[in-house]
Amino acid sequence: MQTISLSLAVENFASLTHPFSEADLARPWAWKGYDEGVRFAFFRTCEQLCELASHLEVERAASPHPLTVVQRILGQYHSAYRDLQAVLLGVTDEQAAQVPAEGEWPLRQVLAHIVQADRGFFTANFLGLDHIRKGNAEPFEITEEIWNSFWADAPFNDLFERGSLSQILAYYATLHARILREFTALTDEELGLPIRYWESEPFPLEFRLHRFSSHLRQHTIQAEKTLAMLSLPPNETHRLLRILYQALAAVENVTIGDESIGLDRQAQLAVEIEQRGAEITQAIR
């Protein structure tokens, strides 16, 4: 079997299983002495991810480059990102475009707003830090010209107005990875630096970084409420996949700033998850 990343293995598992009904989850599947049906495969996978995360956390803490406060903050943001992904599993472009009620946003607009906000947070932090590091003492303001120049290679206006859910999700995946990559090397000493955005006063960088996750959590709740209004509440399979994505994020968060941690163990688990996905898909046919 071709080697794939742990994240892709979990995403493939979710792609295969998110249509499962409760009857599918009750189909026969056993692991050693546990004969609890297909749903147990989700819990076994979650257990393995949690086990791996626990061991890697200890390994990272004992390494020459343990997690910094900044990297832990980015991990909280990444956990929120994975949670949103899980909430939107299986949502079609047609469902995402549907207005749930008068005055309410469709899911496509909710996601587009999240992306636009992250772009703003990223711009303010990245350029504000660069301004300070160059020794400038005067306040930094993001003009329209500066904004357009900064995003010239990654425009979003057309997607914001007309993009499908799948297109916006793909854009967000690239943006999210860029945010993690650009900020992972920030020092904890820089967390107190004053960064100005739209407010009337600057706020510390630490607050700015936490805004990524808090704003994302806020609108993940909005997405959940929208799904409920569309009569698309989470079933048992979606709830299982949501905890699976949380467990995956726990592993990924340990590697922020050092992607070499536990690569062999991640690859081994990825193979097991791929095999398990194939097994339980076969079990419900």
Cα diameter, the chain:
67
Q: How many domains does the chain have?
A: 1
Structural domain harbouring 150? 92-231
Q: Is residue 66 situated within a structural domain?
A: no
CATH number (domain holding residue 197): 1.20.120.450
Global pTM value: 0.96
Higher per-residue pLDDT: 169 or 2: 169
Q: Is residue 38 situated within a structural domain?
A: no
pLDDT value, residue 138:
83
Q: Is residue 36 situated within a structural domain?
A: no
Give the number of other CB atoms < 10 A from CB of residue 171: 20
- The SS3 assignment for 37 reads coil
Q: Is residue 187 situated within a structural domain?
A: yes
What is the percentage of the chain residues whose pLDDT exceeds 70?
99
**Is the model's pLDDT at 3 over the cut of 70?**
no
Asked if 234 contacts 227 with a C-beta cutoff of 8 angstroms, the reply is yes
Which residue's structure tokens are 């046919």? 285
Instruction: Give the pLDDT confidence of 103-145 residue by residue, as tens digits.
Output: 999 999 999 999 999 999 999 999 999 999 999 988 788 999 9
Instruction: Give the pLDDT confidence of 170-227 residue by residue, as tens digits.
Output: 999 999 999 999 999 999 999 999 999 998 899 999 999 999 999 999 999 999 999 9
Q: Is residue 72 situated within a structural domain?
A: no
Q: Is residue 119 situated within a structural domain?
A: yes
| Nearest-angstrom CA–CA distance, 222 and 78 | 18
pLDDT value, residue 1:
40
Q: Is residue 83 situated within a structural domain?
A: no
pLDDT value, residue 142:
92
Q: What is the DSSP letter of 201?
A: S
Q: Is residue 283 situated within a structural domain?
A: no
Arithmetic mean of pLDDT, 25-29: 95
Give the number of other CB atoms < 10 A from CB of residue 157: 10
Instruction: Give the pLDDT confidence of 199-213 residue by residue, as tens digits.
Output: 889 999 999 999 999
Torsional sign, CA 77, 95, 42, 279: negative
